[in-house]
Amino acid sequence: MYKLTNITDSIYYVGVNDRQKVLFENLWPLPQGVSYNSYLIMDDKTALIDAVDIGYSEQFLAKIEAQLNGKALDYLIVNHMEPDHAGSIRLLRQFYPNVQIVGNSKTFGMLDGYHGITEGLHEVKEGDVLDLGSHKLNFYMAPMVHWPEVMVTYDSTDKVLFSADAFGTFGTLDGAVLDCDMNVDKYWEEMIRYYANIVGKYGVPVQKALKKLAALDIQTICSTHGPVWREHIQKAIGIYDTLSRYEAEDGVVIIYGSMYGNTEQMAEVIASELAANGVKNILMHNVSKSHASYIIKDVFKYKGLIIGSPTYSNALFPEIESILSKIQIRDIKNRYLGYFGSFTWAGNAVKRLTEFATASKWEVVGSPVEQKQGMKSESYVACLALGKAMAERLNNKSENIAE
């Protein structure tokens, strides 16, 4: 019934697409859906690499059964226990009661916790090899990319890396599975958004994993989300390398909240001065309209950040406070920061933004601007100065603008 995509002569794609889910992890928008990728190796012994969300188990099991065609499923390799991949494991074990579940000790703790499975387990450690016949599977631990039990599986025969969530993207697979069979343009920004929101905090563990994998001859990357990378392997790895080093492109993200347009007007003046001084990448986010996931993606992508908030109940505008919390949790490093605020009768936003600036340990650029009520010439000039200071810092025209 199912004509499956070959990754290699003996590795098949048995994943599924989710076009129904609105929010990934019940947090992050999925305007283009998401795929849950799983792979079946046919050899003397058969091995399934990762599973899928429980909601798609019927289609998933039908694909596996069609390819096995009566042959036993010998192993299930669990690289990652998050339920969007591991949710169907209990059902899979019911269909294939003799399957050996392969994972590390942390995997098995979660397997018991989620599914009550404690038997039929095959534990692997760093560098262990599982012999399927022609295929030799090598295991490498990648803790905190982005859960503590994560590992990756390398097939040294076909030079395929099964990378768990690493190098994954949001977005369904619309017909093709391999990157060489599709236009991948739409996936790059979604890879950055995926990394920034899901993996973002764990830059150091990602760097450790990348160094470990650098010694391998990788000709195909099979992630658990998005395309299978073959033609664009170096670009995919490069994006993860750049983001996990917290390196960024030249550009400025302006994040602001505004109740009646006065703080927004300040943001507009700052943006115009950035442009006048040669900054071409300017991303403006009204926090009452832009979803946090897109804001976080841009903060990861660009070097400069300018934040503006009105005072609200003697504190920050609630949606500004929320996005700052999400940014702070991710422990992003090496950004330039400017900030501004407005108030009607009692100002406190700039004071709270100063506290964020101190906590972030970023370089503060220019002088913070605080405006009472509507814009006057004094605050207009101060906003221009803030925009100019950030542009000059990005252009390296000044080595010590921070105040």
Give every CB contact of residue 96 below 8 A, 6+ residues apart in sequence.
72, 73, 76
Rounded Cα distance between 360 and 240, Å, is 22
pLDDT in tens, 276-321: 999 999 999 999 999 999 999 999 999 999 999 999 999 999 999 9
Q: Mean of the pLDDT values across residues 126-140?
A: 98
Q: Mean of the pLDDT values across residues 150-179?
A: 98
Would you state the pLDDT for residue 121? Answer: 98
Would you state the pLDDT for residue 396? Answer: 83
pLDDT in tens, 72-102: 999 999 999 999 999 999 999 999 999 999 9
Would you state the pLDDT for residue 3? Answer: 84
pLDDT in tens, 331-368: 999 999 999 999 999 889 999 999 999 999 999 999 99
Task: List, in order of start, the domains of the chain with CATH numbers.
Answer: 6-244 (3.60.15.10), 249-394 (3.40.50.360)
Per DSSP, the residues of 150-167 read -EEEEETTTTEEE-TTTT
Is residue 403 predicted with pLDDT exceeding 50?
Answer: no
For residue 184, what are its two tokens? 């991948």
Would you state the pLDDT for residue 206? Answer: 97
Would you state the pLDDT for residue 227? Answer: 98
* Of residues 387 and 397, more confidently modeled: 387
pTM for the model: 0.94
Average pLDDT, the chain: 96
Is residue 239 predicted with pLDDT exceeding 90?
Answer: yes
pLDDT in tens, 246-263: 999 999 999 999 999 999
Is residue 399 predicted with pLDDT exceeding 90?
Answer: no
